[in-house]
Structure 1
Amino acid sequence: MKTGLIRALALATTLGLAATPALSQDRILNVSYDIARELFEALNPAFTEQWQADTGRTVTVEQSHGGSSRQARAILEGLNADVVTFNQETDIDVLAEGGLVPADWRDKLPNDASPYYSLPAFLVRAGNPKNIQDWSDLARDDVAPVFPNPKTSGNARYTYLAAYAYGLAQNNGDPAATQEFVRKLLSNVPVFDTGGRAATQTFAEREIGDVLVTFEAETAQIAAQYADKGFERVTPSMSLFAAFPVAVVAANAEKNGSTEVSTAYLEWLYSPAAQELLAQNHYRVNDATVAEAHATDFPEVELVTVDEVFGGWDAVRAEHLADGAILDQVFVNR
């Protein structure tokens, strides 16, 4: 009798376990640019909540941050990224050339696979004692700008290109005069860190330099983080449209069994909920309703594009970023 009771209890337990659905757990690794930590700390919990509501499954979104070019190299060397959320198109192109991302990655999502955008802008010390207003001020003898190395940081690459675009506009398209302007600006930089976060620490904590040049979104975050220092945000008269491209690292996602959730993660960045969070974190967005609601948060600025000024990213890579090209020339002689 006791044996029969034990068997009945065991059978009931087995049936109960069979009737209880197993908890399904997804996981993805988002490899991102250096200064995006706080942004994705805001975005990821909202996505995990939405994913569970849509699928009944939980998901863990892990993050890796660093200079975007260094991150791209790390992925080529084996960093198991499921998705990338970069600040430089060329760094995703590198992954496409390495066979990890589809060659047509720009066509996979709206706006050339860029769910949000920003532009290089300035953060100056309390009271703006050097009266820094525009790119021309960064080439003055008495001004020390701070930004990372354009060879390792997508953030700094936009700074370099924005300064170059401004130089062209001010010098009637004269490349020699423009390169001299950019050379002088670069020679004023006291230290070139490898990424945006280190450059922020150089400016804000080590108190080196007169102006930090970084993405507009980051200037707002830094000003809030170091409110006691009284940093002030300055928008230059002209700047460069900075897309923030995203892509599924298809080769890794397929191997990891994460293609579905990785794709959903990037598609979700275009949703009104995500666009609202992006705008709250000082990024400019393409959703018309959200953009209109936050219009007063973003100063007007003349925005030029890489295509308009430089003929596209392929031309930038060949003429500016390749070994021995213009960037190397203005660095060597700075």
Structure 2
Amino acid sequence: MKKFLAIAVAALALGGTPAFAQPTQILNVSYDISRELFEAINAAFIPAYKASTGVDLTVDQSHAGSSAQARAVLEGLQADVVTFNQVPDIQKLADGGFVAADWATQFPNNASPFYSFPAFLVRAGNPKGIKDWGDLAADGVQVIFPNPKTSGNGRYTYLAARAWADEEYAGDETKVEPFLTKLFANVPVFETGGRAATTAFTERQQGDVLVTFEAEVQGVRKQLGADKYDAVIPSVSLLSEFPVAIVDKVADARGSRDIAKAYLDFLFTPEGQEIAAANFHRVNNPEILAAHAADFPAIRLVTVEDAFGGWKKVSEEHFADGGLLDKVFVNQ
């Protein structure tokens, strides 16, 4: 990491923004269950940055639902970088002129340093015997997950459940839609974001099963006790990429571009990948992923592209007003 930062500083001296003009604070605007992950990232990045540059850097964090955060940036929240949990939220910023049109090619793996997928957290002993998506629509089962209209976490849950149902019912919408309607009817209250859903399940003791990213499932078990909660990995789930981007409109105005880039580059380094994996995010570094294999059970993942034709088609067919998601809500 020191060598990496030294190179960045040398490049800055040769042709970047003058070092004396650099701010000493940046803001990372992120989704709401990433707080602990980026606290760990910052604890490693900040001292390494100082060791290479002599600069005491502050990295502030803002956390809420991914879609709500995108709207906040568009409305003036001064984010130097965004670390979101779904592609459409960064694309909104690109469409609004806040992020470069080619943002997905500025970093490896489509600018996604790590990934996860919707999984289940149940109470110890799994009293309702929940094993797969079909069990979530059973009578007497209460399901907790955030509102897909306000949360990327919730959107992935909806899409993962639909992907399972499309396979289970061979794409027969006369069976898929009633399954999803029953599943949604089993949700006692839709929280606005993933962390609020976790709080409802763990602190208010609502529901029989929480559907959230695997990283959150395993993080809750580590923090609150593996003797209190069990993780259930379904037969199939949806690849959930967590894309990142520099907010060019803000970073260029503040003179923070080089710091912002160094910060996001760090997420792809072996040290950044190790921190992500230690926080139960699956990473693209094969050696680090293999070293944490015991934490990551086998899972068959489908992609938005393969299952639904890509995010543009999903946005138009499922999440637009009057789309397939609205039909599930309306039919309750």
Asked if TM exceeds 0.5, the reply is yes
Superposition map of 1:29-108 within 5 A: 29-108=27-106
Partner Cα separation in structure 2 for residue 212 and residue 191 of structure 1: 12
**Distance in 1 of aligned mates of 2:38 and 2:162:** 31
Kindly state the Cα deviation for residue 175 of structure 1 after the two structures are TM-superposed: 2.4
- Give the counterpart of 1:247 among 238, 245, 248: 245
Task: Identify the match of residue 232 of structure 2 among 231, 234, 242.
Answer: 234
Equivalent residue of 1:290, what SS? helix
Given the superposition, is the C-alpha separation of residues 23 and 97 from structure 1 closer, same or farther in structure 2, using an over 3 Å criterion?
closer
Contact map agreement 1:24 1:58 (CA 8 A) in 2 = no
> What CA distance in whole angstroms lies between the structure 1 residues aligned with 2:172 and 2:240?
24
Aligned 1:287-326 pairs, distance under 5 A: 287-326=285-324
Separation (CA, whole Å) in 2 of partners of 1:33 and 1:232:
24
Q: C-alpha separation between the residues in 1 aligned to 2:85 and 2:326? A: 21
Kindly state the Cα deviation for residue 296 of structure 1 after the two structures are TM-superposed.
1.9
1:138 is aligned to: 136
SS in 1 for 2:198: helix
Could you tell me how far 1:23 is from its partner in structure 2?
12
Q: Normalising by the residue count of structure 1, what TM-score does the alignment of the two structures yield?
A: 0.91
Q: How does 1:186-197 map to 2 (within 5 A)?
A: 186-197=184-195
Say whether the 8 Å CA contact 1:25–1:57 is kept in structure 2.
Answer: no
CA displacement at 1:223 relative to structure 2: 1.5
- In our comparison, the structure showing a higher alpha carbon Rg is 1
Per-residue displacement from partner, 1:145-165 (whole Å, max 9, x unpaired)?
Answer: 100100000011100000000
Say if 1:150 and 1:287 are closer, same or farther in 2 by CA, change over 3 A: same
Is 1:262 aligned to residue 292 of structure 2? no
Query: 2-side partners of 1:282 and 1:82: how far apart?
Result: 26
* Aligned ranges 1:107-186 → 2 under 5 Å: 107-186=105-184
Evaluate the alpha carbon distance shift between residue 146 and residue 56 of structure 1 in structure 2; reply closer, same or farther with a 3 A threshold. same
Q: How many residue pairs are counted as aligned between the two chains?
A: 314
> What's the counterpart of residue 14 of structure 2?
none
Looking at structure 2, the residues matched to 96 and 80 of structure 1 have their Cα atoms a distance apart, in angstroms, of 15
Greater shift after overlay, 122-131 or 45-54?
45-54
SS for the counterpart of 2:154 is helix
- The Cα of 1:221 is off from its aligned counterpart by 1.0
Query: 2: distance between equivalents of 1:305 and 1:228?
Result: 30
Q: Which residue of 2 aligns with 1:6?
A: none
How far apart are 1:224 and its partner, in Å?
2.1
> Where does structure 1 differ by over 4 angstroms across 4 or more consecutive aligned residues?
21-25
Letter in 2 for 1:317: S
SS state at 1:221 partner: helix
Is the CA contact (8 Å cut-off) linking 2:40 and 2:275 kept in structure 1? Answer: yes
Instruction: Quote the offset at 1:201 in angstroms.
Output: 1.0
- Matches of 1:100 and 1:27, distance apart in 2: 19
> CA, structure 1 residues 22+251, in 2 after alignment: closer, same or farther (shift >3 Å)?
closer
Q: Which residue of 2 aligns with 1:13?
A: none
Structure 2 residue 331 is matched with structure 1 residue 333: yes
Q: Which amino acid aligns with 1:126?
A: A
Deviation at 1:99, TM superposition (A): 0.7
Q: Secondary structure at the match of 2:301?
A: strand
TM-aligned CA deviation for residue 24 of structure 1: 7.5
Aligned to 2:11: none
Counterpart-to-counterpart distance in 2, 1:294 and 1:202: 29
Residue type at the aligned position of 1:29: L
The aligned counterpart of 2:202 is 204
Secondary structure of 1:282 counterpart: coil
Amino acid at match of 1:327: L
Instruction: Work out the CA distance in 2 between the residues paired with 1:332 and 1:46.
Output: 47
State the SS of the aligned residue for 1:84.
strand
Q: CA deviation at 1:53?
A: 2.4
Structure 2: stretches of 5+ with no match in the other structure:
1-18
Q: Distance in 1 between matches of 2:172 and 2:111?
A: 33
Aligned identity (percent) is: 57
CA offsets per residue over residues 82-121 of structure 1, 9 Å max, x none? 0000001110111111110111110111100000000100
User: Which 5+ residue runs of structure 1 have no aligned equivalent?
Assistant: 1-20
Normalised TM-score (structure 2) = 0.92
Whole-Å separation in 2 of the counterparts to 1:261 and 1:325:
41
**Contact 1:144/1:189 (8 A) holds in 2:** yes
> Which letter maps to 1:98?
G
The alignment partner of 1:58 has SS state of: coil
